[in-house]
Amino acid sequence: MNFDSLQNWISNYERPFLVAGPCSAENEEQLHTIATQLATQKVDLFRAGIWKPRTRPGSFEGVGVKGIQWLGNIKRDFGFRVTCEVANAFHVETCLANGIDVLWIGARTSVNPFTVQEIAEAIRGTGIPVMIKNPVSPDINLWQGAIERIVTSGSEKVIAIHRGFSSFEKSKYRNQPMWEIPIELKRRIPAIPMICDPSHICGNRTGLQTVAQKAMDLNFDGLMIETHHEPDQALSDRQQQVTPSRLKELVDSLILRHATSDNELFNISLEELRELIDKQDSELIKLLKDRMDLIERIGEFKRENNITILQPERWNEIVTSRTDWASEIDLSAEFILRVFQQVHQESIRKQMEVFELKEENGKM
């Protein structure tokens, strides 16, 4: 689909476009205290969830509709633009009726095309900006699909939020960043503004700076960071929220790099290095083609001699030797393993093709 209508409306803001505020609105005083502390620093959008999608029942599920008025008061008293999470048409209507400036669709909602479509219908014709978090599962098409549904409903001001992906494996992250997914989304939809939510990626305070810096180095447009005046007392996500003063330190210590340079010498040197890379990539592709031709010959040979395509000992030997060779020359063994898994998968596919083709010809 065509994304020509998309506007990078946050490019007018000084980078990073910053969304801050608590995970949840808890009471009016809490929101007011946080807003007072944030009012002295650069915050472009004030966030607070009033309907909270909690993983298990029984935990704090948000204050509901009464919180919308509190957010309206924050907007009136501090001049912040305000944003709230929506997960159905009723939430959208409530936000629209109460002057909420920006909506966001959470990770547990963007995973469901029915719900995203319901939200898309509810915002049709309103022009309200919508931020769309990646779905909990690492499915780029689902994320792209959610964006397409919202853009199709006429919304030009859409932002993608990268908040990491759920996984069964234990790791230092609450949600795996899998940076390759937002990078691929940006390749598919270059016009989409992209912000990173280090809070939900890390699930703790200690990793935030590193993840936020990484997002800046990958040229993300902004950050969403959960902020609470007393994080340890928060009713949701207390381990990951930071105080407004810690937020300021974090943002002030970010190193902001440029996407391009007008230094001619730098541009010429970069161009030369890229030409070298182009040459090597072209050789790499020719080598892979030569390897695949050999695979075809092996496939024919196996078939003629009634030998199976897969021989686990040989595959095992390839894995061991190739990762050893890589380690010897200081190349990541893990990376080479991933490369050879792909190469091996293609080799098997190719040999199956050889087997099937010969069998079909044999029948004729």
23 binds Mn ion (CB under 5 A): yes
CB of 45 to Mn ion, least distance (A): 15
Q: Do 185 and 218 contact (CB within 8 A), yes or no?
A: no
Residue 107 touches ligand PEP, criterion: CB under 6 A: yes
Q: Length of the chain, please?
A: 364
Token duo for residue 228: 């609470």
Stretch of 30-38, 100-108, 206-214, 215-223 contacting ligand PEP, by CB under 6 A: 100-108
The answer to whether residue 303 forms part of the interface with ligand PEP (CB under 6 A) is no
Q: Give the whole-angstrom CA distance, residue 171 versus residue 155.
A: 37
Tell me which of Mn ion, ligand PEP, none is bound by residue 244, counting a contact when its beta carbon lies within the kind-specific cut-off of 5 to 8 angstroms: none
Instruction: State how far the Cα of 48 lies from the Cα of 67, in Å rounded to an integer.
Output: 9
Residue 23 touches ligand PEP, criterion: CB under 6 A:
yes
Cβ contact 25:31 at 8 Å = yes
Which stretch, 136-144, 157-165, 235-243, 302-310, contacts Mn ion (CB under 5 A)?
235-243
Give min distance, CB of 228 to Mn ion, in A.
10
Which of ligand PEP, Mn ion, none does residue 132 bind (CB under 5 to 8 Å by kind)?
A: none
Q: Which of 53, 64, 113, 127 binds ligand PEP (CB under 6 A)?
A: 53
Residue 181 binding Mn ion, by CB under 5 A: no
Contacts of 249 (CB under 8 A, 6+ apart): none
Please work out the total of residues on this chain that contact ligand PEP, with binding judged by CB under 6 A.
Answer: 9
Determine which residue in the list 18, 47, 237, 247 makes contact with Mn ion, applying CB under 5 A: 237
Closest separation in Å from C-beta 24 to Mn ion: 7
Nearest 5°: the CA angle 339, 345, 346 is 95
Q: Is residue 49 within the footprint of ligand PEP (CB under 6 A)?
A: yes
Say if residue 16 is preceded by a cis peptide, omega within 30 of 0.
Answer: yes
Q: Which is nearer to ligand PEP, 53 or 154 (CB)?
A: 53
Q: Where are the alpha helices (DSSP H) in the chain?
A: 28-38, 66-78, 89-97, 113-123, 140-152, 180-188, 198-202, 208-217, 244-252, 264-304, 312-328, 333-363
Is residue 222 near ligand PEP by the rule CB under 6 A?
Answer: no
Instruction: Give the three-state DSSP class for 109.
Output: coil
Residue nearest to ligand PEP (CB): 106
Q: How far is the CB of 325 from ligand PEP (least distance, A)?
A: 41
Report the sign of the C-alpha dihedral through residues 70, 72, 77, 83, in that order.
positive
Angstrom distance (rounded) from CA 122 to CA 117: 9
Asked if residues 224 and 197 have their Cβ atoms less than 8 Å apart, the reply is yes
The piece of 63-71, 87-95, 104-112, 255-263 that touches ligand PEP (CB under 6 A) is: 104-112
CB of 9 to Mn ion, least distance (A): 24
**Binding at 207: pick from ligand PEP, Mn ion, none (beta carbon under 5-8 Å per type):** none
In angstroms, what is the minimal distance from the CB of 183 to ligand PEP? 19
**Least distance in angstroms from the C-beta of 20 to ligand PEP:** 12
Per residue in 143-180, is it b (16+ CB within 10 Å) or e — as a string? bbbbbbbbbebebebbbbbbbbbeeeeeeebbbbbbee
Residue 356 burial class via C-beta count within 10 angstroms: exposed 0-12, middle 13-18, buried 19 and up: exposed
106 binds ligand PEP (CB under 6 A): yes
Give the residues lining the site for Mn ion (CB under 5 A): 23, 237
Give the residues lining the site for ligand PEP (CB under 6 A): 23, 49, 53, 106-108, 133, 163, 200
